[in-house]
Amino acid sequence: MVKPVLAGLPCGKLAELLSSYPPFRTRQIHKWIVSGAGSFEEMNNLPVSLRKDLAVHYQLLSGTVSSELLDKDSTVKLGITMDDGAIIESVILSDEEGRKTACLSTQAGCPVGCVFCKTGHLGFKRNLSASEISGQFLHLRRKEPAISHVVIMGMGEPLLNLDELRKALDFLMDPGGLNISKRRITLSSCGIIEGIYALAEQGPDIRLAISLTTARAELRERLMPLSRENTLPSLKKALVHYQKKIKRRITLELVLLGGINTGTEDSGLIAEFSRGLDTIINLIPWNPVEGLEFDNLPLKRPSHQETATFSAELEKAGLKVTQRYGKGLGIAGACGQLGAV
């Protein structure tokens, strides 16, 4: 029988599960969890008999760290093996200001199948549970206690596992626990229409990024097959509705593929799609993954000039543009590379 997992439960839910224990013991256990305990044995202010009882009836953390890679730019990538053998990857990203961000996965594999993403070529195994999602954060924090931000941008499509993600975020944002601000959490989606409406109506009220990549409908359907059911007009309508409900800027992410989606037509259509939305455009020059092709030709990273010209065209159209620099390239830990090693 699978033991219930304690890490990942907000304090109130943990108290319900451990209702047979005195409330002050539950508070102690919760404090140990959010402070980073990796085993019941580490909870040294609990009686030995209680620690043994907990170990018999419960599991502390979901998954076991089975691999760890460190890049020269300080990016850390963990491979975490779940009880059924599924392996997912999670990453710690460091920016120039020293800020540490946890990049979490929501699925083992991915059903979306984006041409330019390694995870999309792995196929889909299953959704992760709430404890498996939030457990990644706890595993990462044992490596880097100073993590302050979270991006739901790892393996999988978050809006196809929204119920479990909500539970995981309840733990991460719990005021009595980790208390991570909603302003420090970003969800990245390929644009699942139903999920965007669900976010607008039921939350959580966190930052939203949409992997748009191109506003050429035919090209987007070929690069991102799930967009055949989640069309660009429907996506635009959903985002307009979302911003009416959630007064927050949306990030439109554009993975730039050399010679494919960086022309003048592309920048013009992005500007047209953005009209009426409060957006910021985040350019992501494609992070190389060996063996990925489009139209029987290997994908390639755009040149610096190609990227600069495209960025200038977007800015000329009145859009605010930023560029994401590939952190973790040396360990296949950058955007689109998870599952490569």
Of 267, 1, 287, 275, the residue nearest 118 (C-alpha) = 287
**Residues 124-128: contacts with CB under 8 Å, at least 24 apart:** 125/86, 126/86, 127/156, 127/160, 127/161, 127/164, 128/82, 128/88, 128/156, 128/161, 128/164
CB 54 within 8 A of CB 17: no
φ, ψ at 65 (rounded to 5°)? -65, 115
Catalytic residue among 11, 89, 132, 164: 89
CB 89 within 8 A of CB 332: no
Catalytic residue among 103, 114, 117, 335: 335
CB 87 within 8 A of CB 80: yes
Structure tokens at 236: 């635009």
190 is catalytic: no
308 to each of 241, 253, 262, how far by Cα in Å? Answer: 32, 16, 10
Question: Count of CB atoms within 10 A of residue 242's CB?
Answer: 19
Of 335, 210, 207, the residue nearest 274 (C-alpha) = 210
Question: Count of CB atoms within 10 A of residue 187's CB?
Answer: 23
Q: What share of the chain is helix, strand, coil (3-state, %, to 5)?
A: 40, 20, 40
Question: CA-to-CA distance for 135 and 129, rounded, in angstroms?
Answer: 10
Structure tokens at 78: 């963990």
89 is catalytic: yes
Of 266, 256, 335, the residue nearest 303 (C-alpha) = 256
- The set of catalytic residues is 89, 335
